[in-house]
Structures are given as structure tokens and as C-alpha cells.
Amino acid sequence: MATSSTDSSREARAFRQRRVALFGLASGGLGLIFLLFRAVVAVFMLDEQEFTHPSFLYHLLGVTAGLTTWLACRTGARSGRVVHVAEALALVGTSVAYQLMGWHIPLANRPEMIVLLAITYSFMAWAAYVPSPPRRTLLLSLAVGVPLVVGTYVVYLGADDTLLRGASFNETPLPAAQAAGMLAASIAVWWSLTTVLATATSSVIYGLRQDVREARKLGQYTLEEKLGEGGMGVVYRASHAMLRRRTAVKLLPAEKAGEQSIARFEREVQLTAGLTHPNTVTIFDFGRTPDGVFYYAMELLDGASLDVLVELDGAQPPERVLHVLDGVAGALVEAHEIGLIHRDIKPANIILCKQGGLFDVPKVVDFGLVKDLSGAGVALTGTATLTGTPLYMSPEAITAPDTMDARGDLYALGAVGYFMATGTHVFPGRSPVEVCGHHLHTKPEPPSTRLGRVFATDLESLLLDCLEKDPSRRPQTAAELQQRVRECRGYGAWDRERARRWWQANGEKLRRGRTEHPTLTRDEPLPGRDSRIGA
């Protein structure tokens, strides 16, 4: 069986198990409330025989059946057979128990109608709440209805003529068997109507769930959970039909599927798919559904973005900053060498993740604003349109975005390193315009001054060089930047063991902040945080 089918079956079984458990809790819980009420009344009336009366014991049996189902299904993954047995116990077991309880009501009160009404409500609630194939609903209905019809016949078979005439709406005396048969037939008709309605309800509910599952399939991928949303798409956790691998699927919503958005979306996946560096997010697949929805599948990163990391853990030690700069610079080396610049390097687009037994693996994501310097691609942004995130935007990206080259990425990476090292942005501001003004005219404050303490001299020098206003005074290539990063030694390596210990101590805190970070940008304009202009 295909993996996605197995995963879908497991997901459907888990959902059904939860619903069966809650139905058992509701059934048993309501029954328990009435049972306790009976017990309180018996105690108040000093009626000790109530606790040994058969109707009380059958009532207790019905409550036990419902709560047993809840206990059996409330935790852990159960097999389909166990869930089915528990479901039958909650539905059939409680119904039969309450039927037996009802037969101890005086016949003059028409107990069969009281029982019919009670279990009809219960059965219809089950059909609407627990998704079940119509055939199973029909079988369970027979399992509930047959004892009801047979019980009606047996109970009234020994009744006196007066009761039978009143119950059968017939003033002419009838033989007991015939009168009891008429009553049983009446109950059978009413329960048949319940069966038809419940089966139809199951058909609709079960069919709708099937339709939803089909609607959540994109090619070989089945969408499972929405992880987040950004300016260029919505990201879902997904499973593949054949492969057991963690996958994220990014969709271009229909309302954003204009000609320019489609071109940018396709361009993003095509360019990113051509990158193979281990510090660049891996693209698995790309497609378009028959109804025109564009999507691509990429690796699902288990970790946290740098903005989340710094928000939760504050300024990072120099050796960790260097470790991240090294990995990101390596990813940019490959991109720049084939003529691509990212144009939106920022903390939210760099994910530290656990991968292949390694901790703190930096991954560069979201090439949605990438620019092709080779001239082979079409222009995807208009003239004089700012693209990027103001807090990490180079001066030339503000004044002449169409002439921006790879050194703009190095400026942004320097700003990211500054953010990691100090826990603050290079130029915080109350508006994007103010921040852009600082990038153009304000000299960056050295990290040591910002922190008010001694800071790694060579790393500080490297960060300030990256943040030079004049591109010619920065490192000229990502390879040069990476080489300078590797020359900044003397602080102790951020090695595998240190990374492992950090994640063991802080992983839970990160998971509470954001688990399995969706690989997309955050585009909301937040004061003092990321914001995008004209993207």
C-alpha cells in the first residue's frame, strides 16, 4: 500500500478514535448524571431497594459501557478493530442496556416509545458526530433496532387485555400475540425511519470528509496542517504518496494568482530547485493542479528561524554567529556564482534546524525576491519598486533597486550577524521610512558599543565592513566573506557537541515559540521588526 494511503488511513483512524472516545464520554457522562440523580433521590427517600432494582443495575451497565469506550480510546493509537469494538460498545451496548432498563417502566406508560425516543436521539447524534460509512451505520442500526423490536414483542406478549387495547389503539380485544406483534411492527416502522435518516446522515458526513481529503491532494501530496502564510503563499505540512519524508508544500492562493505573481512563484521554485548547497532549502517537486493552483514541495525544517531564536534566547555568542554566517555565506556562494542574488536575506529567512543527526544546521529559505544577474530571466519587479525587508536592506536596494548586485546580500547578511550578536537590529526605527533613512545616512554603532562590553574584535570589524554604505568597501564576494568568517577563530568552535547541548537545554522553549518553522517569510509590517515594501 502506498505510504500516503497508509498515512491517510492512520490519520482517519485517529480522528475516528477521538470522536468515538468523545461520544462514549458524552453517552456515559449523561447517563452518570441521571444515575447520580436517582441515587440522591433514593437516599433522600430512604429507598434502599432502589440500588438493587434491575433498572438501576441496567442503568449502571449503560453508563459503564459508555465510559469504558472513552477510557479505551481517549489516549494512544488504537487499531481499527479496537475502535470499532469500542464504538459498538458505546452505541449498541448502551442502547441495549437502556432498553432493558426501560422494560421496567410500567407498561401503561408505553415504555417502548420512551426507549425509542431516547435511543433515536442517541443514534442520530452518533451518526452526525462520528464519521462512519453508510453500510456500517446500517449494520449498527440493525444491532440496536432488533433488540428493541423483539423486546417490545416479548414484554407486551404477557400484558393484560386492557393494556394491550390501549397500547394498540384498538378497542376490539385481540389475541396477546397479535396485539404484541402490532406494537412491535409499529416500533419497527419508527426505527426504520431512524435508520434511513441516520444512514443518510452518515452518507453525507462521510462523503464530505472524503471530498475534503480529495480536495487536500495536490498531485502525489496530501495536505495535512497549515503551518503559516506569507506574502507569496501558504505553507502546509504534507505527506507524499510513496516516500516517507517530511515535506512542506507551498501554495500560491487563487486570489494572488495574477500574471506577475505566477511568474514570480514559478521563478522562485525553478531557481531554488537549481541550488544544491546543504545550507539552502531543498525543493522536491513543483506542480499545478487542474483548477490552476500552483504549488511546490520542499523539505520541512524542524527548528526555528533566527528571529525566533534571538527573541527567545537573546544575543548569541560570537562562535555561534560565525557558524551561521559561514553556512549562509556558503549558500550564497553557490547562488551568486550562477548569477542569482537573494535580495531578502533576513533572520526570518534563515532557519536553524536539526537534520541528519546534526544540530544548528542553517538553511536559507524563500527565494521569492531572487534576481537573475545573468540576464536570462524576465524582470519581475517594476522600476523604482523597493523589494526586501527594510531592516536588512542595503542602501543601493533603496536608491537603485534595479542595479543591486550580490553585494546587497552581503550587506543584509552583515545586518543579520549584527542582530544575532547584539540581539538588536542595526537600525531600529518607528517606520520603514525612518529605517531606510538610517541605512542611507547613519553610521552603524559598533556591537561592542551597543552591548556596552568588550566584543570579538575581528567579528566586529567584519560585520561593520559588511555594513559599509559603499558596496566597493564591503567584502566583494560571498566567498571572500566566508573566508574572513573562517579566519575569525579564537572564541572556541561552535561544534556539534556544543550545538547538541544547547538544543537539549533550549529545544522545548523553541518548540513552544514555533515548532517546525514553515519555510516562508513573515511579511507583516511590525514596528521595529520585519516589514516589506512593495513586495
8 A C-beta contact, residue 54 and residue 104: yes
8 A C-beta contact, residue 380 and residue 425: no
- 352 dihedral zone (left: phi>0; alpha: psi -120 to 50; beta): beta
8 A C-beta contact, residue 298 and residue 284: yes
8 A C-beta contact, residue 95 and residue 151: no
- Work out the burial of residue 292: count CB atoms within 10 Å of its CB; fewer than 13 is exposed, 13-18 middle, 19 or more buried: exposed
Q: Report which residue type is found at 408.
A: G
- The CA R_g of the chain, rounded to the nearest whole Å, is 34
Give the span between the Cα atoms of 326 and 198, in whole angstroms: 63
Give the span between the Cα atoms of 336 and 51, in whole angstroms: 83
Instruction: Kindly state the cell numbers that stand for 480.
Output: 571572500
Give the span between the Cα atoms of 497 and 477, in whole angstroms: 31
Angle subtended at Cα 533 by Cα 268 and Cα 234, rounded to the nearest 5 degrees: 45
Q: Which residues are catalytic?
A: 344
Edge-first strand listing for the sheet containing 358-364: 303-305, 350-355, 358-364
Q: Report which residue type is found at 148.
A: L
Instruction: Kindly state the cell numbers that stand for 419.
Output: 542582530
H or E element at residue 366:
none
8 A C-beta contact, residue 308 and residue 353: no
Q: How far is CA 526 from CA 230, 306, 389, 429, 509, in A?
A: 14, 16, 11, 10, 23
Instruction: Kindly state the cell numbers that stand for 189.
Output: 416502522
Give the span between the Cα atoms of 293 and 340, in whole angstroms: 26
- Work out the burial of residue 512: count CB atoms within 10 Å of its CB; fewer than 13 is exposed, 13-18 middle, 19 or more buried: exposed
